[in-house]
Amino acid sequence: MKFEKMLKGGLAAVMAMSLVACSGSSDSSAPAADTSTGSDTTETTVAAAGAFKLGGSGPLTGGASVYGQAVKNAAELAVEEINAKGGVQFEFVMEDDEHDTEKAVNAYAALKDWGMQVSLLTVTSAPGAAVAPLYKEDSTFALTPSGSSLAIIYADLINLADPYGNVFQMCFTDPNQGVASADYLSTHTNLGSKVAIIYKNDDNYSTGIYEKFVNEAADKGLEVVYAGTFAGEDNDFNVQLSQAQANGADILFLPIYYQPASTILKQAKDMDYAPTFFGVDGMDGILAMEGFDTSLAEGVYLLTPFSADASDDLTKNFVSNYQNNYGDTPNQFAADAYDCVYAIAQALEASGATADMSAAEINDLLVEQFTSMTFNGLTGTDVTWNTNGEVSKAPKAVIIENGVYVGVED
Amino acid sequence: MAFLSYLINGLSLGSVYAIIALGYTMVYGIAKMLNFAHGDIMMVGAFVAFFALNSFGLPVVVSVILSMLATTCLGVVIERLAYKPLRQASSLSVLITAIGVSYFLQNGAQLLWSSSTKVFPSIIASGSLRLFGGALSISYLTLVTITACIAVMVCLTLFINKTKTGMAMRACSEDKGAATLMGINVNRIISITFAIGSGIAALAAVLLCATYPTLSPTLGSMPGIKAFTAAVFGGIGSIPGAFLGGLMLGVIEILAKAYVSTQLSDAIVFAVLIIVLLIKPTGLLGKKLSEKV
Amino acid sequence: MKNKKSFVGNLFSRTYRSRTISFLIIIVGYILIELLLKTGNLSSMFQSLLVPVTCYIVAALGLNLNVGVSGELNLGQAGFMSLGAFMGICVSGALSSAIPNGLIRLVIAIVLGALIASVLGFVIGVPVLKLQGDYLAIVTLAFGEIIKSLINNMYVGIDPNGFQFSFVENKLSLAPGGKMLISGPMGATGTNRIATFSVGVVLILIALVIVYNLIYSRSGRAIQACRDNRIAAESVGIHVANTKMLAFVVSAGLAGAAGALYGLNYSTLIPAKFDFNLSILILVYVVLGGLGNMTGTIISTIVLVLLPELLRGLQDYRMLIYAVILIVMMILSNNEKVKNLLSLLHQKLSFGKTKEAEANE
């Protein structure tokens, strides 16, 4: 018996050693392998001399992969377009972090080994907060498309002090959206006055908006009559909806992503409950879901900086290119990622950085650019950043009518 | 009246758990393995039904049958390739393999069908039955779900108790060695069990998605765990037990959400489970096995 | 030669060989890695894996004691890790000004993390160990989920007035100079990363000492007797509940220690990390390494933690291939032909050695 066990152990040891041996050799060849697979599909292509190494991580597998894939696709699209123009050149690698803090740290290390010079940080918040201090330590510039938690840019969350200084956000911070939503609802009393909220309490994004909204609502005379939560992949909202209805709520505030929101809309309809639904940028994407009955979303308000239905040329081009390449309609995450790459390209161009500089040198140049420049993109015009890394852009209120977004005039 | 309507919500959720748990418990009863990939087989069923309905515009009944056929085949193939080589291995080895299969199906589904969320079309007319002058409304969907669940349970019970194959299944679950001696092809019986269990998973998938319409490659994992819990709750291996366990789990979950806290509903469900198991250590309807010395 | 086995000979005797090999693997591995680190030859990716690997090894060793040696299927190991992790984070956060030395704080955090997990292990063990088989498994799963859910709703802060707690809703208003240690579902942020690989290795060695001493002791033999035949064990006067409890509590304690080390290795940690999937992952390490085989556990943990990282080049196909490898490994390790082939190989390789051993006996 013992012998057999020993044997198993021995076998495993051999395997482990061969794996370690493989890894040793694959370390140096990893980027080469990446580019070669890239050229087969429509992924990143350029490996030309003088290309900046742009990295990033996000959930490419698992439950949150829909967001990671959107960012990866859009960033690749932007990189291709920018490379085709000449000027600043990028080589882009996106690692999988499975929406997990531990894996995000591993992914960061893998990117560092690859020689990353500029980064898109992470797609989701908790992994972003885990790697942000590492970016600070190694002085590598990062601009996250969609990590909206304050923990990504501040080391001291209680006093909002001690910003990392070289980690920037392309999306609104969560509290910002809470304030904007409370502002909008308190100045548009025709929508209703009694607010119920359903939020996802194991999600940074959702909880962050909720907490700020409740604080602001009290100051602005909005009455919050009910707050219900859900977690994980729960998709039964009958109880929350019944209680919102029983408490007489005429506004249902949904600071959540569009997938659970679509289920909430359906279940509310099934129980004949029709308050004004009010969402934030996570709601964007609801109309593009395959198979979704858009009549359910009729009359839904949302505050969002981007809508795939906008008629400006930039958005139209982006949406059609994205659809041609990846088959899906781009959502908020994709738009933010696309803007990130363009913003970084603009800053690199203006700073005169070259690809042979170290990550730390590029970091200093980019921080200087980002705190002084103005950027126009899909998700906003005249976008600026403060020295803490927070973005300043204006969310727009839109309402869904006949299955399309319509801007609401103030 | 609010209580009644919560109760009905709970029964509706519970019958979805129950129908998944039936598949779990059947496979456990005969093959003595926890098939953690059951939820993921269900997920595949949901996607097949979705594409049949949405992309090919097939009628509901045809889509359901197609999806059941697909998962039946999938179940048999998985059993052949992954579980059969482990017939003699410890039950834990099979458990780990099942987890491997679960990862495989989830990641395969993501590569095949992309991770972007899809919405299942409504297959049952929305609307509801109104009782007590409209004070209590039960949606048609809830009625269909509960009826389907009862129908599946009755059919399964009849199949196991009245048919020859069913008898062979019971023999296998009692004693595989003795069953072999009686001329029963145990391997074939286990394959049939997987086929039936996986077929029911597709039906469960359609009912689950009719109520909770978002589709993603991970849609099976949470209901899978809940159904596993339900199966143990009712006494694993027992078909009426799985049904009862599923219903109770659904009702407790909804009532906990409604009357205690939405934040703590999961903790309450599991706490009740623990208490029940302490009072009845083999679940609600589980058999107490005599121990051999 | 009968009673005068040399010390070295004794270490490699039939009984203690696997123990010696376990220790050797860890010590040699540690020296090799330290050498690579000192000479700057270890890539960032491997460096980032060092601490988590040690955490998983410790938790898996504990679980193997529970599942392999004691024979109880435990699906809630992540719950104990979670408890240890957040305890460790709170302790380290509270002592950060009193004890500036990170190493001392880390050790205190690990000890307290192990302690609270063992205490909870004892409390949970009382009802859990009355059950058997899959019912026991589901109850451990249930406790794991309950712990996750409770920590998900817990708000802990510290200010000059001491610890502040709040449950379900965050009602804390901290005095100036205070900081949040756990903010419910957002978990802990801004943790000082004080975990080190060396401490992890020491923790593994301690875990091995505890586990092997337990296995080779009277209690250990009692535990194994209960696993192999409970009724027979009872009939020779072994108190089954007590022996099983010992294994359960030690296992929980090791998970708690591992959790504390893990929690202090990342600046951000969310309670949802310690879910059912993590418990299962640790179980996979244990089963693949061989039930009751501690050396196997160490090796399989290292291999399975490295594997997904080494597969990064496969991009989207990474986890698919990982799943296939897992299934194939499971099937191969249980295949009769492969087993025969291996034992043949082993016989050829160790022919001389075996003879020598026989001569010694």
Give C236-260 pLDDT, tens digit per residue.
888 877 888 999 999 999 999 999 9
- Which chain B residues contact residue C324 at CB under 8 A? 100, 104
DSSP assigned state of A121: E
Q: Does B16 touch chain A (CB under 8 A)?
A: no
**Beta-carbon separation of B93 and C334 below 8 A:** yes
Q: What is the pLDDT of residue C4?
A: 53
CA–CA distance, A18 with A126 (Å, rounded to integer): 34
CA–CA distance, A155 with A162 (Å, rounded to integer): 5
User: Which residue of C lies nearest to B36 if distances are taken between CA atoms?
Assistant: C280
pLDDT in tens, C300-340: 999 999 999 998 888 788 889 999 999 998 898 888 888 78
User: Which residue of A lies nearest to C180 if distances are taken between CA atoms?
Assistant: A158
Rounded (10°) CA dihedral A70, A73, A76, A78: -70
Q: Closest Cα of chain C to B84: distance in Å?
A: 9
- Which chain B residues contact residue C142 at CB under 8 A? 229, 270-271, 273-274
Amino acid at C344: L
Checking if the pLDDT of B292 tops 60, the result is: no
Residues A188-194: contacts with CB under 8 Å, at least 24 apart: A191/A250, A191/A251, A191/A276, A191/A278, A191/A301, A192/A249, A192/A250, A192/A251, A192/A275, A192/A276, A193/A222, A193/A223, A193/A250, A193/A251, A194/A223, A194/A225, A194/A247, A194/A248, A194/A249, A194/A250, A194/A251
Q: Does B228 touch chain A (CB under 8 A)?
A: no
- Which chain C residues contact residue B85 at CB under 8 A? 331, 334-335
Q: Does A332 touch chain B (CB under 8 A)?
A: no
Q: What is the pLDDT of residue C220?
A: 83
Q: Sorting pLDDT into bands at 50, 70 and 90, what band is C341?
A: confident
Is residue B292, in this structure, part of any structural domain at all?
no
- Residue B254's alpha-carbon distances to B6, B204, B235, B262, in angstroms, are 7, 19, 22, 9
Q: What is the pLDDT of residue C342?
A: 77
Contact between A154 and A392 (Cβ < 8 Å): no
Amino acid at A54: L
Q: Sorting pLDDT into bands at 50, 70 and 90, what band is A43?
A: very low
Show the tokens assigned to A18: 């061969």
Show the tokens assigned to B114: 């992309």
pLDDT: which is higher, B87 or B247 = B247
DSSP element (H, E) containing C39:
none
Q: Closest Cα of chain B to A269: distance in Å?
A: 9
**Beta-carbon separation of C310 and A23 below 8 A:** yes
CA–CA distance, A173 with A292 (Å, rounded to integer): 29
Burial environment of residue B25 by CB neighbours within 10 A (0 to 12, 13 to 18, 19 or more): buried
Mutation site for B-interface testing, chosen from C64, C82, C129, C134 by largest number of B Cβ within 10 Å: C134
Q: Touching A: which chains, 3+ CB pairs < 8 A?
A: B, C
Q: Touching C: which chains, 3+ CB pairs < 8 A?
A: A, B
**Beta-carbon separation of B116 and A266 below 8 A:** no
- Which chain B residues contact residue C139 at CB under 8 A? 273-274, 277
Half-sphere exposure of C70 (CA within 13 A, CB side): 29
Give chain C's length.
361
Checking if the pLDDT of A156 tops 50, the result is: yes
Q: Touching B: which chains, 3+ CB pairs < 8 A?
A: A, C
Mean of the pLDDT values across residues A285-297?
Answer: 85
- Which chain C residues contact residue B101 at CB under 8 A? 323, 327
Query: Phi and psi dihedrals of A95, rounded to 5?
Result: -100, 155
Checking if the pLDDT of A31 tops 60, the result is: no
Name the residue among A20, A133, A208 with its Cβ closest to that of C267.
A133
Q: Sorting pLDDT into bands at 50, 70 and 90, what band is C6?
A: low
Q: Sorting pLDDT into bands at 50, 70 and 90, what band is A207?
A: confident
Q: What is the pLDDT of residue B206?
A: 92
**Beta-carbon separation of B119 and A328 below 8 A:** no
pLDDT: which is higher, C344 or A91 = A91
Is residue B291, in this structure, part of any structural domain at all?
no
Name the residue among C43, C193, C295 with its Cβ closest to that of A27.
C43
Rounded (10°) CA dihedral B274, B277, B279, B282: -170
- SS3 assignment, position A255: coil
Q: How many helices (H) and strands (E) does chain A have?
A: 11, 17
- Which chain B residues contact residue C319 at CB under 8 A? 103, 106-107
pLDDT in tens, B153-195: 999 999 999 999 999 998 988 888 899 998 999 999 999 999 9
CA–CA distance, A66 with A60 (Å, rounded to integer): 8
**Beta-carbon separation of B116 and A290 below 8 A:** yes
Name the residue among B85, B225, B236 with its Cβ closest to that of C335.
B85
Q: Closest Cα of chain C to A137: distance in Å?
A: 12
> What residues does B214 pair with on adjacent strands?
B119
Q: Which of A2-11, A20-29, A132-141 has the lowest mean pLDDT?
A: A20-29
In CATH, what number is assigned to the domain containing residue B159? 1.10.3470
Q: What is the pLDDT of residue C71?
A: 87
CATH topology of domain A48-172+315-392: Rossmann fold (3.40.50)
Q: Sorting pLDDT into bands at 50, 70 and 90, what band is C207?
A: very high
Q: Does C135 touch chain B (CB under 8 A)?
A: yes
Percent of chain A whose pLDDT exceeds 90: 49
Q: Closest Cα of chain B to C63: distance in Å?
A: 13
CA–CA distance, C73 with B231 (Å, rounded to integer): 17
- Which chain A residues contact residue C288 at CB under 8 A? 12
Query: Phi and psi dihedrals of A60, rounded to 5?
Result: -95, -15
Contact between C312 and A95 (Cβ < 8 Å): yes
**Beta-carbon separation of C138 and B266 below 8 A:** no
User: Residues 6 or more apart from B62 whose CB is under 8 A from it?
Assistant: B52
User: Which residue of B lies nearest to A293 if distances are taken between CA atoms?
Assistant: B121
Q: Sorting pLDDT into bands at 50, 70 and 90, what band is C349?
A: low
Checking if the pLDDT of A14 tops 50, the result is: no
Contact between A132 and A139 (Cβ < 8 Å): no
The residue with tokens 């016989």 is: C347
Is residue B179, in this structure, part of any structural domain at all?
yes
CA–CA distance, A280 with A257 (Å, rounded to integer): 8
Q: What is the pLDDT of residue C227?
A: 84
**Beta-carbon separation of A239 and B6 below 8 A:** yes
Is residue B220, in this structure, part of any structural domain at all?
yes
Query: Phi and psi dihedrals of C48, rounded to 5?
Result: -70, -20
| Residue intervals in chain A for CATH 3.40.50.2300 | 48-172+315-392, 175-304
pLDDT in tens, A216-257: 988 888 899 999 998 877 888 989 999 999 999 999 999 998
Name the residue among C303, C312, C319 with its Cβ closest to that of A95.
C312
Mutation site for B-interface testing, chosen from C141, C143, C147, C149 by largest number of B Cβ within 10 Å: C149
Is residue B289, in this structure, part of any structural domain at all?
no
User: Which residue of B lies nearest to C126 if distances are taken between CA atoms?
Assistant: B278
Q: What is the pLDDT of residue C137?
A: 86
Checking if the pLDDT of C121 tops 90, the result is: yes
Q: Sorting pLDDT into bands at 50, 70 and 90, what band is C351?
A: low
Mutation site for C-interface testing, chosen from A28, A29, A102 by largest number of C Cβ within 10 Å: A102
Range of the domain at B29: 2-279
Written out in words, the top-level CATH class of the domain with range A175-304 is alpha beta
- Which chain A residues contact residue C18 at CB under 8 A? 2, 5-6, 9
User: Which residue of B lies nearest to A235 if distances are taken between CA atoms?
Assistant: B212
Checking if the pLDDT of B2 tops 70, the result is: yes
**Beta-carbon separation of A9 and C293 below 8 A:** yes
- Residue A40's alpha-carbon distances to A30, A33, A36, B87, in angstroms, are 16, 11, 7, 42
Checking if the pLDDT of C359 tops 70, the result is: no
Contact between A125 and A150 (Cβ < 8 Å): no
Rounded (10°) CA dihedral B178, B181, B186, B187: 140
User: Which residue of A lies nearest to B137 if distances are taken between CA atoms?
Assistant: A271
Q: What is the pLDDT of residue A311?
A: 78
**Beta-carbon separation of B281 and C284 below 8 A:** no
Q: Sorting pLDDT into bands at 50, 70 and 90, what band is A37?
A: very low
Domains of chain C by residue range:
11-39+47-360
Direct distance between the N- and C-terminal alpha carbons of chain A, in angstroms, rounded to an integer: 79
Q: Does A163 touch chain B (CB under 8 A)?
A: no
Show the tokens assigned to A125: 């918040």
User: Which residue of C lies nearest to B232 if distances are taken between CA atoms?
Assistant: C135
**Beta-carbon separation of C330 and B271 below 8 A:** no
Cβ within 8 Å of A, B 148-207: none
pLDDT: which is higher, B69 or A327 = B69
Checking if the pLDDT of B92 tops 50, the result is: yes
Q: Sorting pLDDT into bands at 50, 70 and 90, what band is A5?
A: very low
Burial environment of residue C75 by CB neighbours within 10 A (0 to 12, 13 to 18, 19 or more): buried
Checking if the pLDDT of A277 tops 90, the result is: yes
User: Residues 6 or more apart from B114 whose CB is under 8 A from it?
Assistant: A69, A327, A328
**Beta-carbon separation of A207 and C186 below 8 A:** yes
Checking if the pLDDT of B235 tops 80, the result is: yes
pLDDT: which is higher, A19 or B198 = B198
The residue with tokens 């669940």 is: B149
Q: Model-level pTM?
A: 0.88
pLDDT in tens, C69-118: 888 889 999 999 999 999 999 999 999 888 889 999 999 999 999 999 99
Q: Closest Cα of chain B to A114: distance in Å?
A: 26
The pLDDT mean for chain B works out to 88
**Beta-carbon separation of C269 and A101 below 8 A:** yes
Q: Closest Cα of chain C to B88: distance in Å?
A: 8
Number of domains present in the structure of chain B: 1
Q: Which of A33-37, B28-32, C129-133, C278-282 has the lowest mean pLDDT?
A: A33-37
User: Residues 6 or more apart from B78 whose CB is under 8 A from it?
Assistant: B37, B41, B101, B194
Is residue B228, in this structure, part of any structural domain at all?
yes
User: Residues 6 or more apart from A241 whose CB is under 8 A from it?
Assistant: A198, A264, A267, A268, A271, A273
- Which chain A residues contact residue B221 at CB under 8 A? 63, 233
pLDDT in tens, A322-344: 999 988 888 889 999 999 999 99
The pLDDT mean for chain C works out to 87
- Which chain C residues contact residue A27 at CB under 8 A? 43, 45
Is residue B97, in this structure, part of any structural domain at all?
yes
